[in-house]
Amino acid sequence: MSDLADELIAATRSMLDRIDTDTETPAQGVSDALWAALVEAGFTSVDVPTEAGGHGCDTSDAIAVLSTVIGSGALVPFIEHAMLAAWLSGTTGHDLGQGTATIGTSDAGFVVDESGEQPCVTGTVRDVVHVSAASSLVILLPETENSAGRVATISLADDGVSITAGSDLLGASIGTVTLDSVPATIAECPVTTADLRQRGALVYAAALAAAAGTVRDRTVQYASERVQFGRPLTKFQAIQQRLASMAASTTMMEIACRRAAAGASSDRRSARSATAAAKVVTSLYSHEVAAAGHQIHGAIGFTSEHPLGRSTTALWAWRDRYGTEREWADVIAAQILDDGSDPWDLITATATTSGIEQPSTERTSQ
């Protein structure tokens, strides 16, 4: 972890210490005070290019802030605004300015009308997270035979916008946005639909790992303090085994995400392999970690007021976002079976690009 990441984590923790955040599940809404503090500090544009008003830092630095926020249990639109919408808009050099944005992808029937003075868009965008908290929507328009990928940014306050919203398990708003000739800012974009899905998988994998780490820490603390039959729960062998299994699963999640975040700026093939592995591991073990946490906490962990539920519900709600473990396992399998990649190279993060082998762990025979 870089020195900058350490400083960002410390500063974010300082904010969290000063600002009270509700951890009831489901949440009654986003933490407006924390979100305002993050925006004011510039932490919502850490890895956004400087030409788009960001700081131009590494993705791993932005993920350090994300993990700290998620680990606290606070509900804010950090993923959708900072890690996805602002980043995607930033690849076109466009600064989102004030307000909160969220992200979406267009459906097959999406229409862009560029006949007037300003382009207008008509269509439907589904599964938009934090749609009720956002003032603008950044939409990735898929590339076609006649055009490269493009990004359309629209105001959700326009008269042509219709929103049908509910909420996910965590309490975050999620819904469908229907657009009828809505004015849009459109720019060509180097990001493809596959690139955005990969970025989303990386970000949500990191969020899952952070939530799992909180479940582990809370459970270990509870088991150490809770006395049953005259001794702490940690003195019982069955509890020890369950805690050890949870700790091992959480550690694998954290290591896989750390590797994927560090490799996000490497060559596309290596980055995709690392992200796929991280999403497989985090999605696969999310249910196990959540189940162990609730099992050891007993009935108290299931109450809406207990903070454990904020993190375990995140593990349930997020594990399938931007792809299930099966989908990303297929990506790894395709690299081996269809592209001829060496399984050992994927395991040790060895990549060969244009005949040049990238530095990585050497093979050893043990």
Q: What is the pLDDT of residues 307-345, one digit of tens each?
A: 999 999 999 999 999 999 999 999 999 989 988 888 877
Mean pLDDT of the chain: 91
> Which of 24, 4, 22, 156 has the alpha carbon at shortest distance from 80?
156
pLDDT, residue 8, reads: 96
Mean pLDDT, residues 107-122 taken together: 90
pLDDT per position as a tens digit, 4-22: 999 999 999 999 999 998 9
Q: Which residues pair with 128 in a beta bridge?
A: 175
pLDDT per position as a tens digit, 183-229: 999 999 999 999 999 999 999 999 999 999 999 999 999 999 999 99
- Cβ-based neighbour number of residue 118 at 10 Å: 10
Q: Which residues pair with 121 in a beta bridge?
A: 112, 182
Q: Which residue has the higher pLDDT, 246 or 147?
A: 246
pLDDT per position as a tens digit, 70-114: 999 999 999 999 999 999 999 999 999 889 999 999 987 899 999
pLDDT, residue 361, reads: 36
Label each residue of the chain as H, E or C: CCHHHHHHHHHHHHHHHHCCCCCCCCCCCCCHHHHHHHHHCCHHHCCCCHHHCCCCCCHHHHHHHHHHHHHHCCCCCHHHHHHHHHHHHHCCCCCCCCCCEEEEECCCCCEEECCCCCCEEEEEEEEEECCCCCCEEEEEECCCCCCCCEEEEEECCCCCEEEEEEECCCCCEEEEEEEEEEECEEEECCCCHHHHHHHHHHHHHHHHHHHHHHHHHHHHHHHHHCEECCEEHHHCHHHHHHHHHHHHHHHHHHHHHHHHHHCCCCCHHHHHHHHHHHHHHHHHHHHHHHHHHHHHHHHHHHCCCCCHHHHHHHHHHHCCCCCCHHHHHHHHHHHHHCCCCCHHHHHHCCCEECCEECCCCCCCCC
Alpha-carbon span 155 to 161, nearest angstrom: 8
Please report which confidence band the pLDDT of residue 144 belongs to, taking 50, 70 and 90 as the band edges: confident
pLDDT exceeds cutoff 70 at 358? no
pLDDT exceeds cutoff 50 at 59? yes
pTM: 0.92
If 0-12 CB within 10 Å is exposed, 13-18 middle and 19+ buried, where does residue 69 land?
buried
- Cβ-based neighbour number of residue 102 at 10 Å: 27
Mean pLDDT, residues 270-297 taken together: 96
> Which of 146, 263, 129, 354 has the alpha carbon at shortest distance from 138?
129
Q: Tokens 């955005």, residue?
A: 196
pLDDT exceeds cutoff 60 at 63? yes
Q: Which residues pair with 141 in a beta bridge?
A: 150
pLDDT, residue 363, reads: 35
